Structure 1
Amino acid sequence: MYLSAACLRLLAHLALCLRRPINLRRHYGSWAVVTGPTTGLGRSMAMELSRRGISLVLLDLDAANLQYVSAALHEAHPGVETKTVVFDLSLVGTAAGDESMGRLKEATEGLDVGLLVNNAAVNRPGALYVHEADVERLARMVLVNVMALTEVTAAVLPGMLERGRGAIVNVGSGSTVAVPSFPLYTVYSATKRYVQHLTRCLSVEYKHRGIDVQCQVPFYVHTGMLSPAIKATMTFPAFVATADAYARDAARWIGHGVLCVPDASQQLQWFLAGLVPDAVHDWYRLRQHLKHRAILR
């Protein structure tokens, strides 16, 4: 059964590569909201969407970084517009968070926002047993990865419903899809499992209203979330995608399925991971992550 499903996924991926990609601007709308667009995958995704003629509302906690990325987008793609919203997503549920959410709603008012890319996430502290971690930092991870993602989605949805079209892209993690456990990164993995389940439920709720909701699943990607020392421990570095290459594939996958692994080599990795017994995965992951723990300590 697994082999049949995995083979169908691989065939679907190949078919998509041959298919003409969706014109995201025409199909969904002329604006996109991107969270965490100043570094790594978020920055690459913002660049890719702007390359496709989509104007951007950029949301991040650092005003200077937002201005820098905004200027880079205008230089690379002069036709696009940008708006910036300073928002520390770890402050959701507080007075400061409510004020920032108000600025986001004000910035998007009257815009044809057809895309939301929930990219912002925190993965530290990691490579630690839960009892070793600073509980406040774990709580911040949950606030950003779970609560903030939910609130930003709820803020953007009404406009999409009014226009009868839109796409929400939630960035998940291979730690919840390809392997049965992700020890020592337990809370991070658990937050990404929430993202995956939220996506499926929202897709069922809103598909008939013209809104596509998708969880895109990166495995390892060359970004700041992956330290050089940890990269050096990887058994199969060829499976680590660059952020720009991943973003190009990710944009092609928008609108195609609820759960997807956009990168072809990582699709193959997903297929191969399914052939390994869960107990072996658990043993190998704990062994590798204990190496990470030793490096980071």
Structure 2
Amino acid sequence: MMCGDALLRQEPWFISLATIGALYSAAVVFRLLPHLALLLRRPTDLRHRYGAWAVVTGPTSGIGESLALELARRGLNLVLVGRDPAKLQDISETISKTRAVQTKTVVFDLSLVATPQGDEAMRRLQETVEGLDVGLLVNNAGVAKPCAVYLHEMDVEAWVRMIRVNLWTLTEVTAAVLPGMVQRGRGAVVNIGSGSSEAIPSFPLYSVYAASKRYVAQFSRSLYVEYRSKGIDVQCQAPLFVETKMTWRAGKRGKQGPLSRLVMPTSDAYARAAARWIGHGPLCMPNLGHRLQWYLCRVAPDRFLDALRLRENLRQRAVFQRLRSPRAPSHANGGKQS
């Protein structure tokens, strides 16, 4: 009888907890409904909706390469912007051989923006897009190196280069392409941000990188409000980990199972999801697995997430220090994100 009375006294607590859990689960499901509906919906014809040409920065590896290939598959002609002429030529030829679309390349070391060399490259980009029906701009190029370091260990030139590419270049390239979109009354700008500035409270040892990506999100949101009345969609996409050469170097290469692919998709899988989300809101995580991780992070206390992220990034720091060592194997030097 005493046990029964104790159970009755505890029952309201169980009911309260169960109610809170049910409400949160319902909220998660409700937020996932647009994502699931988008997967079932017919993909948007980006060429018809926005225009025949897309400009993609950083298209020679990782997410940028996969996005360029996906947009070509969807029938968009491409202006490819990057610093390596040989790699630009390779991706251009790959697209031309496999898809019936046109490509143009612009050699532009984006870390030289606001310098005489950068000004000349920006003029070449403006001349290239002049007269083209540019309906889509994908600001993908970004710098994360040096990876996993304390701020006092970071060379000044390195974080200046990061800020130039992640903030300054993105802003200037957007400003260069927007006037044509405004004139035509349609277009879309997709800025690749990072889940490090959206899903978690901090990203220690990547402080400048995370702060630069926070700029991308705020910049995108403000432009979304400014330009939607002019027929232009502006969006920040904020992926978590995607399998690229950079994550391979950090020791985060996943296994081939379906669960690991949900947590860390390939760049091709990410690109397919990303293309579907263009035009659907100012901020998104296109990959379903990333979005689920985002919701889980919202439940966990900030202090717990801070400690977890610091521990993981310290582990990455140790990995990168070994890779930077002169005695490191030569094959470990191949991963660089463009």
The equivalent position to 1:65 in structure 2, one of 87, 94, 98, is 87
Aligned to 2:333: none
- Counterpart Cα distance in 2 of 1:190 and 1:181: 10
- The answer to whether 1:39 aligns with 2:61 is yes
- Kindly report which structure 2 residues correspond to 1:111-130, keeping only aligned pairs within 5 A, or say none: 111-130=132-151
- The answer to whether 1:108 aligns with 2:129 is yes
Number of residue equivalences: 296
- Counterpart Cα distance in 2 of 1:194 and 1:84: 27
- Counterpart Cα distance in 1 of 2:263 and 2:271: 15
For residues 24-80 of structure 1, give each alpha carbon's deviation from its aligned partner in whole angstroms, at most 9, with x where no partner exists.
000000000000000010000000000010000000001111000000001110x10
Determine helix, strand or coil for the equivalent of 1:241. coil
After the TM superposition, which segments of 4 or more aligned residues of structure 1 sit over 6 Å from their partners?
Answer: 1-4, 233-237
Between 17-26 and 31-40, the greater mean CA deviation after superposition:
17-26
For residues 68-97 of structure 1, give each alpha carbon's deviation from its aligned partner in whole angstroms, at most 9, with x where no partner exists.
0000001110x1000000000011111111
- Counterpart Cα distance in 2 of 1:138 and 1:237: 32
Q: Could you tell me whether the CA contact under 8 Å between 1:2 and 1:274 is conserved in 2?
A: no
Q: Could you tell me whether the CA contact under 8 Å between 2:63 and 2:268 is conserved in 1?
A: yes
How far residue 230 of structure 1 moved from its aligned partner, in angstroms, is: 2.2
Aligned to 2:51: 29
How far residue 233 of structure 1 moved from its aligned partner, in angstroms, is: 9.2
- The answer to whether 1:265 aligns with 2:289 is yes
- Counterpart Cα distance in 2 of 1:88 and 1:265: 33
When residues 208 and 3 of structure 1 are mapped into structure 2, their CA distance, relative to the original with a 3 A threshold, is farther
- The answer to whether 1:226 aligns with 2:250 is no
How far residue 173 of structure 1 moved from its aligned partner, in angstroms, is: 0.4
- The alignment-based identity, stated in percent, is 58
Gaps of 5+ in 1: none
Aligned to 2:301: 277
How far residue 4 of structure 1 moved from its aligned partner, in angstroms, is: 6.5
Gaps of 5+ in 2: 1-22, 322-338
Q: Rg: which structure is higher?
A: 2
How far residue 236 of structure 1 moved from its aligned partner, in angstroms, is: 6.2
Between 134-143 and 229-238, the greater mean CA deviation after superposition:
229-238
TM (norm. structure 2) is: 0.85
Aligned to 2:269: 245
Aligned to 1:135: 156
For residues 248-272 of structure 1, give each alpha carbon's deviation from its aligned partner in whole angstroms, at most 9, with x where no partner exists.
0000000111111111111111111
For residues 120-148 of structure 1, give each alpha carbon's deviation from its aligned partner in whole angstroms, at most 9, with x where no partner exists.
00000121100011111011000000000
Aligned to 1:92: 113
Aligned to 1:203: 224
- Counterpart Cα distance in 1 of 2:84 and 2:50: 28
TM (norm. structure 1) is: 0.96
When residues 249 and 237 of structure 1 are mapped into structure 2, their CA distance, relative to the original with a 3 A threshold, is closer
- Counterpart Cα distance in 1 of 2:45 and 2:89: 27
Determine helix, strand or coil for the equivalent of 1:170. strand
- Counterpart Cα distance in 1 of 2:266 and 2:34: 22
- Counterpart Cα distance in 1 of 2:154 and 2:263: 29
Between 222-231 and 148-157, the greater mean CA deviation after superposition:
222-231
- Counterpart Cα distance in 1 of 2:28 and 2:285: 12
1:262 corresponds to which letter in structure 2?
Answer: P
Aligned to 2:3: none
Q: Could you tell me whether the CA contact under 8 Å between 1:21 and 1:252 is conserved in 2?
A: yes
Aligned to 2:36: 14
